[in-house]
Structure 1
Amino acid sequence: MLLRLPTSVSEAQECMAEGAVPIGGATLVWATWQQDGFPEQAMSLRELPDANVIGREALGSAVVLNRIDGRVPEVLHRAASTVGTGAVRRTATVGGNLVGSTLRCLLPAALVLDARAVVLEADSVYETDLAEVLAKSHLLLSLSWRDPIASSYHKSAGEAGGPPPLVVAAALHAADDGGTRLRVAVRDGYEVLTESTEGDAGPEEILDALRRTVIGALHPTAWEAVRQQVTDLVPRPADS
C-alpha cells in the first residue's frame, strides 16, 4: 500500500482523483484492511495545513484528539479528552471520529457549537452542514463555528462492552438580535438529539422551554443530566 501525504489542497484532490483512500488516524480502518485486504493507495491529511488548524473558531479534520486543548471552546476540549484511551487519542483524528465512527463522540459538541463543515472533493472545496457530511460520508477538511459565550460537557460513566455512555453538551451563544441562544445536544445510545432555545431567561424558564421539545421526552436520567448542565451553564461567565 502506498501512503500519500499531500501538503496542499490541490495535491490532496489529485490523490483523490487517482483513487487514494482517506484513512484519518487509521484507528477504524486498519483491522478491516487486515481482514479484507489493503488498498493500493491511501491518503492522510496529516501534512495538510488546512486540516491541522486549531483555534477558538476552527478545528482541522487531521488533528489528533490529544492535541485538542484550551485553544478550542470547553465543550469540544472536554469531549475530545474523554474519547477512548490515551493511546486512542494519540492516533484518532477529528475527521475519523465524526465521519468514520458510529459513536461520533465529538458530534454533540460540534452540534451545540453550530459548527459548519468544509468538505474536500476531487474537483471542489465547499462548506456545508454536519447533517450532509454524516449522511454522505464526505471527506471532512475542517470545522468552523462562532466562539460561544460559554459551553459545558457531561459524559456519564460507561461499561466496557456496554452501550455508548450518555452525553450532554451545551453552549450559550450571542444572538444576532443582541440576546443569547442556548443550544443543547444529547447522545442517548447511538441517537443524537439537538435543540435550541432563547438563553436570556433563567435556568427554570429555559428548562421549561426544552421540556416542550424532543429533549423533554428523554428518560429521567438523561433529563437530569440536561437540567444540571443548563443550571450550571446559564449563570456562568464566558469561556476564558
Structure 2
Amino acid sequence: MLLRLPTSVSEAQECLAEGAVPVGGATLVWAAWQRDGFPARAMSLRELPEANVIGREALGAAVVLARLDDRVPDVLRRAAASVGTGAVRRTATVGGNLVGSTLRCLLPPALVLGARARVLCPDGVRETGLADAAAERAVLLGVHWREPVAAAYRKFPGVDGGPPPLVVASALHDGERGPRLRVAVRTGYDVLGEEVHGGAGAEDTLGLLRATSLGGLPPVAWEAVREQVVGLLDRPEAR
C-alpha cells in the first residue's frame, strides 16, 4: 500500500483523483484491510495544515482525539475523552470519528455547536452541513462553529456487546431574535438533533422540544434532556 501525505489542498485533490483511499488513524479499517486486503493507495491528512487546526471555533479533521483539550469547547473535549482507551484516542482522528464511524461519538456535541463541515472534493473544497457530510462519508477537512453561551454533555454507561451508549448534548446560543437552544441525542446508532427558541423559560422550551423528533425519546433519554435544558436556561448568562 502506498500512503500519501499531502501538504496542500491541491495535492490532496490529486491523491483523490488517483483513487487514494482517505484514512485517519485507521483504527476502524485496519482489521478489515487485514482480512480483505489493503488498498493500492491511501491518503492521510495529518500533514495538511487545514486539517490540523485546534481552536475555540474550529477543529481540523486530522487532529487525534487525545489532543482535544481546553482549547476547544468543553462539550467536545468531554466527548473525545470518553472514546475508547487512551491508545485509541492517541490514534483515532476527529474526521474518522465524525464521518468514518458508525458510533459518531463527536457528532452530538458538534451538532449542538452548530458545526459546519469543510469537505474535500475532486474539484475543490465546499462547505456543507455536518449531518450531510457524515451521511455522505465525505472527505472531511475540518469543522467550524460559533462558540455557545453554555453547553452540557452526558454519556451514559454502556453494556458490553450492546448498542452504543446513550449520549445527550445541548448548547445555548445567542441569536438575532433571542436565545436558541440546540439538543442532540445519540440513541443506538441514530443521532437526532433539534433547535428551538430558548428564551421562553425551561418548561415552554421543553414543550417546543416535545413537538420535535426528540418527543419520541425513551423516558431515560428525555429526562436527561430535561435536566440539561433546565440547567442551561437557569444559568445567569442565559437570562
TM-score interval for Structure 1 and Structure 2 normalised by the shorter chain: over 0.9
CA offsets per residue over residues 121-146 of structure 1, 9 Å max, x none?
12211101123212221100010111
User: CA shift at 1:236, angstroms?
Assistant: 2.7
- Give the secondary structure class of the aligned counterpart of 2:200: coil
User: CA shift at 1:201, angstroms?
Assistant: 2.4
Q: What TM-score do you get using the length of structure 1 for normalisation?
A: 0.95
Number of aligned residue pairs: give it.
Answer: 238
User: CA shift at 1:235, angstroms?
Assistant: 2.3
* Contact 1:150–1:237 under 8 Å retained in 2: no
User: CA shift at 1:224, angstroms?
Assistant: 0.8
Match runs of 1:82-231 below 5 Å: 82-177=82-177, 179-231=178-230
AA of the residue aligned to 2:153: Y
Q: Aligned residue for 2:28?
A: 28
User: CA shift at 1:191, angstroms?
Assistant: 1.2
Query: Which 4+ runs in 1 deviate beyond 3 A?
Result: none
- Give the secondary structure class of the aligned counterpart of 1:152: strand
User: CA shift at 1:196, angstroms?
Assistant: 1.3
Q: Identity over aligned residues, as a percent?
A: 70
User: CA shift at 1:75, angstroms?
Assistant: 1.2
User: CA shift at 1:237, angstroms?
Assistant: 5.4
* Contact 1:170–1:182 under 8 Å retained in 2: yes
- Give the secondary structure class of the aligned counterpart of 1:87: helix
- Give the secondary structure class of the aligned counterpart of 1:11: helix
User: CA shift at 1:111, angstroms?
Assistant: 0.9
AA of the residue aligned to 1:93: T
* Contact 1:21–1:43 under 8 Å retained in 2: yes
Supply the distance in 2 between the matched residues of 1:39 and 1:146 (Cα, whole angstroms). Answer: 38
AA of the residue aligned to 2:65: L
AA of the residue aligned to 1:172: L
Q: RMSD of the alignment, in Å?
A: 1.4
Q: What TM-score do you get using the length of structure 2 for normalisation?
A: 0.96
Q: Aligned residue for 1:236?
A: 235
